[in-house]
Amino acid sequence: CMKCCFWCLEKFLRFLNKNAYIMIAAHGKNFCTSAKNAFMLIMRNCVRVVVIDKVTDFLLFIGKLVIVAGSAALSFFFFDGRIDFLKTYTPTLNFYVVPIVLITVGSYVIASCFFSVYDMAVDTLFLCFLEDLERNDGTKEKPYYMGKELMKILGKKNTKPKVSKKEKDEDY
């Protein structure tokens, strides 16, 4: 039971740590303040965070799976001698499962390292998006800073300042 509790605590602290570092990079405040701000921002947008986090995890898992399966298949075909233009480079092996397993494990480790960068980028952009939604309302004084495509998806707009008839006439 305690092992499960500590596992949950560790997962929560890792999640909080990552978001605190994102807030430090965005605002330049200390760790505790950034952790509190990140936690409060996430709690105010709990549903969005869960959806984005799970969708991102699933897509990154699919990406890792494709890379690992592709490298395993290519290594199998290489060691089995089924790739014609590489037959001269193929070593003669009686038991080629071990190199294939090593290549598969290595490709998983490398893919995990690369996709962790994408995961951090998605989390950073998502926290910036949440900040933009909370701090700005699309008016002239507080315009949204998100991209036009994201505004279109969310149905948000920056309002254009109203120009009086007198100002229009003066422009011409």
**DSSP, residue by residue, 45-108:** THHHHHHHHHHHHHHHHHHHHHHHHHHHHHHHHHHHT--GGGTTT----S--HHHHHHHHHHHH
Instruction: For CA atoms 54, 59, 62, 64, give the dihedral sign.
Output: negative
> Which carries the bigger pLDDT value, residue 30 or residue 171?
30
Q: What share of the chain is helix, strand, coil (3-state, %, to 5)?
A: 75, 0, 25
pLDDT of 122 reads 92
Q: Rounded to two decimals, what is the model's pTM?
A: 0.76
Q: In this model, does residue 163 exceed pLDDT 70?
A: no
Question: The tokens of 156 are what?
Answer: 């948000």
Question: Residue 162: what pLDDT?
Answer: 67
Do both 138 and 76 map to the same domain? yes
Per-residue pLDDT tens for 33-47?
999 999 999 999 999
Number of domains composing the chain = 2
The answer to whether 133 touches 126, Cβ cutoff 8 Å, is: no
Q: Domain check: are 57 and 131 in the same one? A: yes
pLDDT, one tens digit per residue, over 99-155 is 999 999 999 999 999 999 999 999 998 999 899 888 888 888 888 888 888 888 777
Is residue 164 in some structural domain? no
**57 in the same domain as 15:** no
Q: Which domain holds residue 1?
A: 1-44
